[in-house]
A = this chain, B = another copy of it.
Amino acid sequence: MTKVAIMGATGYAALELIKILLRNPDVEIVALTSRQTDAPHISAIHPCLEGRLDLRCEALSAAEIAERADFIFCALPHVASMEVIPELLADGCRVVDLSADYRLSDPAVYEKWYHHVHTDPTRLGSTVYGLPELGADKIPSANLIANPGCYTSTSILGLAPLLAAGLIDPTGIIIDAKSGVSGAGRNPKLGTLYSECNESITAYGVGTHRHTPEIEEVLTTVGGKEVNVIFTPHLTPMNRGILATMYPRLLQAASRDEILQVYRSFYEGKPFVRVIDRIPATKDVSDTNYCDISVQFSGDQLIVFSALDNLIKGAAGVAVQNFNLMSGYAETTGLIV
């Protein structure tokens, strides 16, 4: 039995975490936190949990959490995460951090993109990046995992096999990504109101989106050469799902079949990546931990399509995948339904 706590339990990814963890009979959710001081029942925050989890959402300190739980999913915003994680680790907890605080290896890069001085810089560079499909060997023994961003996983899973094989130019890779609105979080903002998002598509964060350095750093490691990407996220009128349409430049001629074979080899034995023949649609991965990938040619231009559910494979699902590997459960526990 693993005793688990979720910090920042009011958001959309936290709800998915809860639903997934409830499927594992060897997990007990023992604490949920938020900044709300009246300790509302979790079913008042997420009504779909009515009758499924009898816990209040409390404003607990790190010490109080560590007293109750062995394993912490930290779903706090960036900055808030690094304020609490060192103490959780010191108290002997193991942590999957869903924020961006431990994803980058260089504090200066963090400061540049997040406009905050990193207050726990010594852990940067040594924290394990939790994308199991890129090498899961360091995950089981880690005490802290940096859980990847949603756009990040979509993009990396779609490009890694080509970069690892040296098939594409690592520079100037265009990633045109489309995300559902839940990716923008649950804090009320004008831009995520129903009447603002519905019946509209637009781009945002061009050249400034914080998943950019994360994609570049991880892919640079994969390919061994400095990668840079042109990353254009779009807000799409749907709750969930990310589709990344990517335009890498092939360095040598290759057929579609040969390229699909590169993907199939790369992801052999990986239960959550499906290399498929048709173009992925986000609905086919919605509410699942799958990432669907395919490629097409338009003339000589290779186009890679990668789709996943931003809240599951892009957040809570991969977090539990990491948790399963860290805790000795089967990698797929709770994740194939």
Contact = CB atoms under 8 A, between A and B. Distances in A.
Contacts of A182: 195
Contacts of A299: 207, 228, 230
B207 A298 contact: yes
Between A51, A193, A231, A292, the greatest number of chain B beta carbons within 10 A of the residue's beta carbon is seen for A193
Nearest to A292: B50
Between A12, A198, A243, A284, the greatest number of chain B beta carbons within 10 A of the residue's beta carbon is seen for A198
Tell me the number of copies of this protein: 4
Interface stretch (A63-71, A81-89, A184-192, A217-225): A184-192
Contact of A301 (B174, B198, B285, B286): B174
Contacts of A23: 337
Contacts of A181: 193-195, 198
B186 A188 contact: no
Contacts of A276: 47, 50
A303 B194 contact: no
Nearest to A19: B337
Contact of A198 (B176, B178, B200, B239): B239
B12 A199 contact: no
Interface size of A as a range = 35 or more
Contacts of A282: 199-202
B207 A297 contact: yes
A182 B195 CA distance: 6
A194 to B, nearest CB: 4
Nearest to A209: B298
A48 B153 CA distance: 19
Interface in A223-274: 228, 230-232, 234, 236-241, 243, 245, 247, 274
Given A50-B274, A337-B23, A198 B206 contact: no
Contacts of A52: 336
A312 B305 CA distance: 30
Given A299-B207, A337-B23, A283 B200 contact: yes
A194 B201 CA distance: 13
Given A50-B274, A200-B283, 12 more contacts: A50-B276, A52-B336, A176-B245, A176-B247, A186-B193, A192-B193, A194-B239, A200-B238, A207-B297, A207-B299, A228-B299, A232-B303
22 contacts: A50-B276, A52-B336, A174-B174, A174-B301, A181-B194, A186-B195, A188-B192, A192-B194, A198-B238, A199-B199, A199-B282, A200-B282, A200-B284, A200-B286, A202-B282, A203-B243, A203-B303, A207-B299, A230-B298, A231-B298, A236-B236, A237-B238
